[in-house]
Amino acid sequence: MTALGATAYGLLVAEGLLARKAIGRPHGMDGPPSDGTYGMFPGRAIKLAMLGDSTSVGLGMTDPAQTPGVVLANGLAAVSERPVRLLVAGRSGASSAELGEQVDRALAMEPDVAVIFVGANDIITQTPPAIAVRHLTRSVRRLREAGVEVIVGTCPDLGTVRPIAQPLRWVTRRWSRQLAAAQTVAVVDAGGRTVAFADTLGPEFATNPTEMFGPDRFHPSDRGYAQAAYAVLPSVCAALGLWPEPRPARGEELQPIYLAAATAAEEPGTEVTATRVDGRATGLHGKWAALFRRRLGEQLNDA
């Protein structure tokens, strides 16, 4: 058994090295400059900070308008009818351990809302989930203590990345789901909200890889980035009070946080946020959480 385990581990390491070589860094390490104010509307600007890894900066895009931050800023401006000031504090290659420096930069802006895309590099560097989540929790708490609304797009499904061969692709899919569930528990406990990227975006990335992935077959295309931005936009609007909070459609959508996290990891487009049952934030099995299955089109129709 020991020999088989060592052989399997060696295979995974070898496949990981081959995948990294195949992907390379054709886009460098910087996304297009996209800080600025968006939306030709009067009034005080909503301050939006983007934190996280290469998906937060839109690596691979040359037009700032195609980055997730700008897509979010324009969408938020259209809904609120106010200008949106965007700061991209994320950095390509960043893991959860590097969020602290990004939070420092974001807090200097005094943002109203922060969106965090992180997790992929924790999987790539084989960071233990407990360590990755600890750094994420600390960052979310700091932002919430400063009065900032926080929405986290959980770890994406790296099992959709074609340069990663089997069985490593199956393993990374499992690791991605496990980290996403752990992130959900931690973020909600710290006062933030999560949107499950793994299943929100995973199926479409797997079905349409030529459209959803960029030339390196690892980072999203302009369509992929737009999908990520639209996935979190409803939650951003709800957090800022621009859309009413939906009520769970069924009683089972009020669950203990650990069960809610596991459910969200398996259901597309699911947001998890803290709630109360009979006036209580906790029950016999821990904190209560509500699951919302948001759809951007439905929210726009209701607005």
* Residues assigned a catalytic role: 54, 216, 219
* Residue 279 CB neighbours (<10 A): 5
Q: Which residues on adjacent β-strands are paired with residue 268?
A: none
Question: Taking a C-beta distance cutoff of 8 angstroms, is the pair 286, 257 a contact?
Answer: yes
Burial class (CB in 10 A: 0-12, 13-18, 19+), 247: exposed
Q: Pick the closest to residue 33 from 85, 73, 87 (CA basis).
A: 87
Secondary structure of residue 283 in the 3-state scheme: strand
Amino acid at residue number 294: R
- Cα(303)–Cα(298) distance, rounded to whole angstroms? 9
Distance between CA atoms of 299 and 110, rounded to whole angstroms? Answer: 28
State how far the alpha carbon of 178 is from the alpha carbons of 119, 140, 175, 232, in Å.
11, 19, 5, 20
Distance of CA 180 to the CA centre of its chain: 9
Q: Retrieve residue 255's tokens.
A: 């669950």
Q: Long-range contacts made by residues 184-187, C-beta under 8 angstroms, separation at least 24?
A: 184/154, 184/257, 184/260, 184/261, 184/264, 184/265, 184/272, 185/133, 185/257, 185/258, 185/261, 186/133, 186/134, 186/136, 186/137, 186/140, 187/136, 187/137, 187/140, 187/150, 187/152
